[in-house]
Each structure stands twice: as structure tokens, then as C-alpha cells.
Amino acid sequence: MRDAVAHRGPDGAGVWSAPGVFLGQRRLEVIAPGEAGHQPMLSRDGRWVIVYNGELYNDPQLRQELAKLGQDPDSPSDTATMCQVLSAWGPRGLRKCRGMFAIVAYDTVEKKLVLARDPLGIKPLCYAFAQPTDGGGPELVIASEVTALFGHPHLSPNVDPLGLTAYLTTIRLSTEGRTLFAGVSMLMPGEVHEIDLRHADMPTTQWDLPIESDSSGNLRARVEESVSQHLRSDVPVCVLLSGGLDSTIIAATTRQHRLRLPTFGAGDGSDDPQSDAAFAGRLAEQWELPHRAVTMTQDRFLNGVRALIERTGQPVSTPNETAIHALGCAIRAGGCKVALTGEGADELFGGYHGPLMQAAEYIDNGGDDPAIAFLLGNAWVPPQMMPMVLSPKLARIAEFAGWLVQAYRDAYQIEAARPGPILSPRDEAVRASMRLMRRVNLTGLLQRVDSALSQSGVEGRTPLADRVIAAFADGLAMNEKFDPSLPPHEGTKIALRSAFKDVVPPEILSRPKASFPLPFQKWMRPLFDELHGQPIIDEFFNREAWDVIAQDPEANWAQAWPMVNIGLWAKHWFG
């Protein structure tokens, strides 16, 4: 199981065990290379042992607090700081931690296991309960990727019909913690589970790491401070440069530190002067930044889809995940292990003009179910199409579309109830829709970056998807994020544009939003050809519907993309 995720940690490996507990870890050395950061790691008093994936950005501040308590970490590794946080304050000490992390920690005194995921869900953690064949009690199995879970002798992959239909509709690999695999759950962002291993039924206490709105201070200063903290590394760092607003802000801020970090960008090889690659190339030249452009061809795209499904054991979410995967390979080959990326700003500061306009217009027209308006307005395979698309064996799943609908409604209510500045009823509703977008989209995008880059042993860091930045964004009024009366290049991410207007070139401030777009609609057909005549397709899809889509995937791209991914995924596990 441990070595199934060797690509995530090619630099080292460790194990620790005690009666009833086994912890394994693969390490990507970024902070304190060598023995100083070896995992699993024990706290100084030997009470806590942890395996930890991520980075702790407020490590210096936490060390100062711990020193006052006589709990100084005994190595420069941030893993040692995490150990002492648990030793000093117990699991609730995780509320003090600013960073990206997925943690499994074992309390050797209380015999409790703690699972935790950072508040924005930057690092993944999935789990399942296995039932031993000898009739013993259940076993809790935890990993960073599902491929590792199914290395366990008592777990086998089976389809979760509700997770399957959720993916077909949303192209998200997990929805409210539900995955495509029966019995496999994903820890939600900010979730903490304390599990008592002294009892066979493993009673669990669950609580959250909250993000509380705080817009005090200056946005630009907050972003610059976040970028500075995300630069902390003992190995070379680079920047993913898309030529858009967010990655340009990050590159500009690194230049203030007098750094000329290498930059990497992707494109489809076109000579369009308005493409991502063209904007990124011009910016790098203007700012004299080393730049490597990765050209995505159809073959590179197709091989990327196959490789990601094979290695992650999951369908691909967004098509441009293949570009990020190609960038990860280029980054590692270029000698870097850490890449700063711009994910997070759109969800936190109101960057999606189309969906936000739809939400505003729906509310203005008296709509009373914005969660479902958002779900249907962004559906790839709409729930009402499921009876026509799925195999007769699975067509009854169409009845289960009610689960996805209710999940979105519940998520909307949770986000609408979160505290924030007092707004007008109309702005309250738009804000709730934007928060739902963040809950659904951001977790998926961060998982995409983590998954695609980690295949090459590269750590993706997101200075804009940061707990402090999220708290600041939550405290802003809606008109500081989104104004439907303005054109997209003025009416989205208003506060962010204003804060950095003197450093971002005008052509980037005014350009339409894009994110490594690829002409995947034209490139998909060979994937359908690979699946031609495969019996497994009939287990999942209505053959007539499949043939219609396969005949012209470009014309039916919205249905074709999730369907062909499910086909390849099903062939991988069940073919």
C-alpha cells in the first residue's frame, strides 16, 4: 500500500507499527531533507506518531509558541512542529495550523487515531472500512489515493452508483465526501475525525477546522505575505504561468523578493496571440523570467488521460489536468520540486462571470432553488438524461438523482448559513451561490492540481487558496468581488484586480478568463475507438446511446468527456 504511492514520495519511505496500528509513508523531500524529516515521526515525549503530507506555512510562529511551553521541535522539519503541536495542545491544536495537510496521527496513550485535512482541502485523504475474512472486527484503511487503498488484502473496488452518476453530471471525483467506489469516502476539507481504537466498533468524534471571516488589514499585503510563506523551501521552486491574472500576481510578488523563478506554461501549439501560452510567453520575456512552454499535442493529451487513469485509479476530472500532468513532468525534469499555482482566486474572490451572472439573473427573476439551478446549469450529463445514457442494469440509478439534488441543496444551506458581512437579501443569495461554487469547484480543482503534479513527484502550492486569504475574502462585501453591471474583465475579482493593478500589465488585467484550455473536443475520438466492442461498456451504458456519442464525440463533447472517462476507468478496474 505504501509503495503504491511512491510517485507522491520518491525520496524516502518509512513504517511504524504497534498492536492494531500500522503507519507507512512515502516522502517528497522539500523541507529538511534527510533524516531530520523522516516519517513516520514521533513527538519528543513519544506519545504521538504521525504520517503527514503537506507543508506548514506558519511553522516559525508555531515554533515560538511551542518554545514558551518547553515543547520545542527537535528538528527543522515542519513535521516535527506538527508532532509538538499535538503534544502541546492535542488535536485541537490543529486549529492553529496554517498550511496544506493531510494527517494521520496516533495517540499511543489514549489509543486514538486522528485524521485531519486542511480547511481548503488542498491535500487528499480517503478511507474505507475493510472486513477481514477471519471474522474479526472491521479494519480502518486510509491513504492519499484509492490505488493504495485497494492494495489492502481485504478491500476490493466496487462501483458506488450514486458516486458514478454524480461524476457523470459534475465531473467531480467526490461529492460531499462520496466517491465512485462503494464504501470509500474522502475526508471533507477541514474535517477532523478522532477515532477510539480501544473499542471494536471504533466510535468516532468529528469536528471541523473553521475559516472565520477576517478582512482586517490590506489585501495586497495579505497576498504578498502568503506568497512569501509559500516560498519557504529547501529545494528549487518554480511558478506555473498561465498568462492570467492570478498566476501573474504570484509571479509579480516573487519578483519583489528579487527572485527570477523559472516559469512553466502550457498551450496547444497554436499561433493565436490571445492564447494562454502567448500571454505567458510575453510576460516572461517582459519580466526576464526563465520560461519553458509545454506544447500539448493530441498524442500527449491521449497519453496523459491513459496515464492518469492508470496511476490514480480514477477518471480524469477536467481535460486540462493532462496539461498540468505534462507540466509536472517538465518541472521535475527541469530540477524543481515545488510549483506555485494560482488556484483559488476565482472561487474566493468571484472570478466566474458566467455562473455568477446566471445565479444573479436566476435570483432576480424570482428563482427559489439556486442550488439546483447551479447544478443543472453546469451539468455535463444532466440527471434527467441518466435513463437514456445508462445501461438497463443501471438505469434505475436515475431514481437516485434525488441524492445528488439533495446533496447540493444541503450544501447550499450550509454555505448560506455561514457568517459574514450583513448584505441585502439579494446579495446574500448571490453570495451563497458563490460559496456553493467554492465548495464544489475549489475542492475539485485543488485535487486536480495535487493529483496531476504528484504523479511526477512535484508539490503544488496555492498561495491564493490559503486559510488567511480565504478568511479575508469571506469578509468582503459582494460588490468588492462581483458586479454584474460591469464587463467580465472589470466586474470579477474586483478587490484583487484593484490591489494589484499597478503591477499586472493592462493586457492581462483586461483579457478574458482562461485556464490552460485544450481542444479536447477534437482529440477524444481515439479514446472511444479503444473501447470499441469492449463488453464492460454494456455493463455501464446503454449501447445505443454510447454508439451515438462515440460516432461524433466532438458534437456531443459534454456527454462524451465523462462517459469515455468512465469507460476507461471501468476497463482499468473491471474489464
Q: Which three cell numbers stand for residue 217?
A: 488589514
3-class DSSP state for residue 260?
coil
Element (H, E) at 562: helix 557-574
Residue 400: exposure state from Cβ atoms within 10 A (0-12, 13-18, ≥19):
middle
CA 329-333-334 angle, to 5 degrees, is 115
Pair 242, 516: CB distance under 8 Å: yes
CA 260 vs. chain centroid, Å, equals 27
Residues of the chain with CATH 3.60.20.10: 2-208
CATH among 1.20.59.10, 3.40.50.300, 3.60.20.10, 3.40.50.150 for 2-208? 3.60.20.10
The count of other CB atoms within 10 Å of the CB of residue 527 is: 21
Residues of the chain with CATH 3.40.50.620: 219-349+439-509
Task: Determine the CATH number of domain 219-349+439-509.
Answer: 3.40.50.620
What pLDDT sits at residue 516? 63
What pLDDT sits at residue 180? 97
What pLDDT sits at residue 567? 98
**What is the SS3 assignment for 148-169?**
HHCCCCCCCCCECHHHHHHHHH
Q: Which amino acid, one-letter code, is at 313?
A: G
Q: Which three cell numbers stand for residue 15?
A: 513504517
Give the Cα separation of 367 and 361 in Å (integer).
Answer: 9
Element (H, E) at 485: none
Element (H, E) at 443: helix 443-454
What pLDDT sits at residue 398? 67
First to last CA, the chain: 22
Residues of the chain with pLDDT under 70: 398, 400, 515-516
What are the pLDDT digits (tens) for 441-482?
A: 999 999 999 999 999 999 999 999 999 999 999 999 999 999
Q: At what angle do helices 557-574 and 298-312 cross, to 10 degrees?
A: 50
Q: Which three cell numbers stand for residue 366?
A: 424570482
CA 224 vs. chain centroid, Å, equals 22
Q: Which amino acid, one-letter code, is at 378?
A: N
